[in-house]
Amino acid sequence: MSIYKTRLEELELMGRSRVLPHPEAIASARINLTSNDYLGIATDINLRKQFLETLTHETLLGSTSSRLLTGNSQAANQLEATISALYANACLLANSGYHANIGILPALANKNSLILMDKLAHASLIDGARLSEARLLRFRHNDMQHLSQLLEQNHAQYEQVFIVVESLYSMDGDFCNLQTLAELKRTYANASLYVDEAHAVGIYGDRGLGYCEQCGVLEDIDILVGTFGKAFGSYGAYIICSQELKRFLVNSMRSLIFTTALPPITYAWSDFVVNAVSAQDWRRSKLLKAAATLRRAISLGGNASHIIPLILGSDEAAVRLSKTLRDAGFYCMPIRPPTVPEGTSRIRFSLTADVEEDDLQQLIEFLRNEAAID
Residue 196 bears catalytic tag: yes
Query: What gap in Å lies between CA 327 and CA 26, rounded to an integer?
Result: 11
Q: Which among 185, 199, 286, 306 is annotated as catalytic? A: 199
Active site residue 199: yes
> Does 111 participate in catalysis according to the annotation?
no
Q: How many helices (H) and strands (E) does the chain have?
A: 15, 12
- Active-site residue, 127 included: no
The amino acid at 62: G
The answer to whether 230 is a known catalytic residue is yes
- Cβ atoms within 10 Å, residue 6: 9
Out of 36, 84, 148, 314, pick the active-site residue.
36
Q: Is 192 a catalytic residue?
A: no
Is 154 a known active-site residue? no
> Which strand ranges, in their side-by-side order, compose the sheet holding 135-139?
90-94, 237-241, 223-227, 191-196, 160-166, 113-118, 135-139
Catalytic residue among 37, 44, 80, 166: 166
Beta bridge partners of 241: 90
Beta bridge partners of residue 193, listed in sequence order: 163
Considering 96, 101, 122, 315, which one is annotated as catalytic?
Answer: 122
Name the 3-class secondary structure at 264: helix
Non-local CB neighbours of 267 within 8 Å, separated by 6+ positions: 73, 75, 76, 78, 79, 93, 236
Strands 113-118 and 135-139, by their bridges, are parallel
Q: Which residues contact 39 (CB under 8 A, 6 or more apart)?
A: 202, 203, 231, 232, 233, 277, 280, 283, 284, 287, 352, 353
Count CB-CB contacts under 10 A for residue 356.
12
Catalytic residue among 230, 246, 286, 306: 230
Q: Annotated catalytic residue: which of 196, 197, 213, 315?
A: 196
Catalytic site positions: 36, 122, 166, 170, 196, 199, 230
